Structure 1
């Protein structure tokens, strides 16, 4: 029987040393959905895994929405590619909090993200954080859901931020929105 995975513990100094570190994208050409976080947190930078903080709801929501046959752990992020999924970020620089990023970093990140999407051609870009999407792409009125803007042939969907700090979205309501994206993207539920 496999042992449960535990998130490694880091001292405050070790986490601070991860500041500004980059977390490699989990990407490939022609994905069904490229998920896009705001930027890596310090724990993600320290581990090298996206959405690594235990309170982050990305991994449980992804499973509940039917994108994965079981709840993956952050250290299993590369398995997403086998489901036609990937992960990147609007801003690459790791910070303790997203509000440490400037509007200019978001706009630069949006430009770099658009170039990445043009090169990789996913069917959908799913930005996990509508405020980050608004700032990165200058879409002040954007709401959760599919967007009119496209990048080449890639459609865009603004999703709720899965951070545990985003209290007005429950795991269930987030999973419902992620499921709407899965259905729109034509991604079948994988079997276990």
Structure 2
């Protein structure tokens, strides 16, 4: 209807629906993983499945939008790691930054492994993220803090192995991800 649309963007109810869908997706994907039924997301958001698909035509589109903020944090963590004068410490901090949410949130783990760096908004950002990680690894190799034969693809293998912890109880998953014993265990 005329007058309902905001010339600056979507109507207020459409924006609220979108935010409810994204929040519901994060919650459902965190609990059930990325393969959770889309109907479960719609139900949790309080919208119809057709509304969900109108906003997000594919599961990938929904998952990428739902975890865009976390993916952006990873890109920022790359910059922080690269700025660290100790490349080994920077690399460790970067891996901890991504491994903790990866083992506590099954949805993020799936999206991160499947989408990063492709989920970044622009090809330039993707290239920069890959280039920053490669530069950080090179610096760590040059200082002897990383083996010479370590390859950027090894990060993907490490993250894949770490993501297998996502179904474990939170304390156990985080401790194992950090290679520490959970509290109360010998």
Q: Tell me whether the two structures share a fold, i.e. TM-score over 0.5.
A: no
**TM-score computed with the length of structure 2 as normaliser:** 0.30
Query: Which of these two proteins has the greater Rg computed from alpha carbons?
Result: 2
**TM-score computed with the length of structure 1 as normaliser:** 0.29
Q: Which has the higher helix share?
A: 2
Q: Which has the higher strand share?
A: 1
